Structure 1
C-alpha cells in the first residue's frame, strides 16, 4: 500500500483505530458510530453487557463483516475494504472465543502449522517432516512462552480447557501479529485456569498491542490500561478501570446482567 495512503498522525499514536464505525442488519444498527483508539503497545479492553455489540465490532475489525459506515485503520493504514487474509498479513490477528486448534495434532505440530504461513512454507502435509523441522525451535520457544513446555508431544485433545486456550494463543503468536485481538480468552474456564492465562497474556503483551473482549472484569482490571464500554452498539464511556467502574452510566448498564463491576 502506498505510504501516501497512511495517516501518519494516527500511525504514530495508535496501532488500531476506528472512525464512525457502524454495522446495520436490515436497518438495525448492531454497532453505531464507534470511535475506538487503541494505543500502540497497550492492552485495551472492549466490554459491555450481553448484546452490546462487542463481537460484531471484533468481526468488523478483522473483516469477517464489512462495515455499513465508517473506517478501520491499522497503524494508520485504511484497511476498511481489505479481506480477512489481507489484514492478517498486515499484522491484525484474532484469537476466537472457541478454541480453534487441530485436536489430533500435538502441540508442537499445531504451532508448526501456524509457523508455516509466516515462514512462507506451503501446507503440504504429505511432505517429509524434515521439510519443516527447521520450524521446531521457534515452535518450542512459543510453547514455552505460554507455559506448555512440558506438553510438546501431547495432542490438543489431551489438554485441559485452559491449556487449549494457551495453545491457541501460541498458534496466534506464531503469525507474529502487530495487533492481537483476544475474544473472551477466559470464557468457560474454572478459577484454577484463569490466573495462569491472565499471567500468560500479560507476559506476551510485552512489546505488542492487544485488544481484548472479556466478561471477567477482574481479568480486565489486571491486564488493561484503557477500557471502552459499549452499550446498544455505541460507546458509552472510556477510561481506566477505576474510572469506568465508578461511572454511574456503566453501573446502570450492567445492573441485572451476568457481570458485576
Structure 2
C-alpha cells in the first residue's frame, strides 16, 4: 500500500507559533499517514522542534488546528494527548536511573494495566507484567541488561530502554525527537531496525538531523526552513529540490 493511500492519523492546518512577535512557525499544513515513518528535517532554526512540541501539545499554537484521528486536540494538555495515543520521547533519555531495566519497563506497563498508582498491590500481582516486560526488553536488545540499573547503561542502550518503555504504553503514534542523537553506528543501526519493526502496526514521526538515517528509514520527509514548509515528499524528491539544497547551504546526503 502506498503512503498516499493510507489514512491520515495526525494533521495540522495553519499551524503558527509566535514568541514575542517572532514567528517560529508560520502557517504549517501537515498530514501524517498511518503506518508510515515521517521525518521533520531542516537546518538549525528551521522550526522542527517547535512543530514537534506543538503536535505533542508541549506548546500551544498561536493559530491553527491539530487533529488526531479526526478529533480536534488543539486545546488539550500533553497528558490528555498522550492518553489518546500520541506519545513522545525526548532528546535527553527519560528513564529512572536507579531502577533496573526490568523495573523501568514494568513501571511503564503498570500504567497501561491501570496499576500505575496501586503500589499497595503485592509483588505477585505486579509479577504478571514480567512476561510482556521481557518481550519488550528482548525486542530492544537489552535482555542481557535486564537486572542492571539504568544508570549503568551506555548512552545508546539507555535510548533503547526509553524506546521499550514508550512501546510499553502501546501507542498508535510515536514521536521521536532526534532518536539517534549522540549514538555510534552500531546503536544507530539497532534503533533503526527497531523503528522499522514498530511501523508495521504504528506510526512514527521523528525530528532527525542524521540525513543518512532519514534516507534509509523514512517514507515521507517534510523540510522546514524559517518556520515554513520548504518541501515535502520522499527523500529522493526533497534532496533533489534546489531550495532544499540552498537551505542546507550545499549540505547533501552522501
**Residue of 125, 130, 133 corresponding to 1:136:** 130
Pair 1:82-2:68 in alignment? no
Query: Residue 238 of structure 2 aligns with which residue?
Result: 244
The corresponding residue for 1:115 is: 109
Q: Report the CA distance between 1:137 and its aligned residue.
A: 0.9
- State the SS of the aligned residue for 2:141: coil
Q: d(CA) in 2 for partners of 1:260 and 1:183?
A: 21
1:231 aligned to 2:248? no
SS at match of 1:130: helix
Residues 1:195 and 2:193 are matched in the alignment: no
Contact 2:96–2:104, Cα closer than 8 Å, also in 1:
yes
CA contact (8 A) 2:12 2:29 kept: yes
Residues 163-187 of structure 1: per-residue CA shift (max 9 Å, x gap): 1101001101111111100110000
Q: Which residue of 2 aligns with 1:52?
A: 46
Partners of 2:121 and 2:7 in 1: how far apart? Answer: 44
Q: What does residue 62 of structure 1 align with?
A: 56
Following the alignment from structure 1 to structure 2, what is the Cα–Cα distance between the partners of residues 198 and 81? 33
* Alignment of 1:151 onto 2:145: yes
For 1:197 and 1:167, the matched residues in 2 are separated by 11
Q: Under a length normalisation based on structure 1, what TM-score does the superposition of the two structures give? A: 0.91
Q: Distance in 2 between matches of 1:254 and 1:143?
A: 38
* Counterpart Cα distance in 2 of 1:165 and 1:150: 16
TM-score by length of 2: 0.94
Offset of 1:200 from its aligned partner?
A: 1.4
Tell me which of 8, 12, 15 is aligned to 1:14.
8
Q: Structure 1 residue runs of 4+, over 2 Å off? A: 122-131
Matched, 1:24 2:12: no
SS at match of 1:59: helix
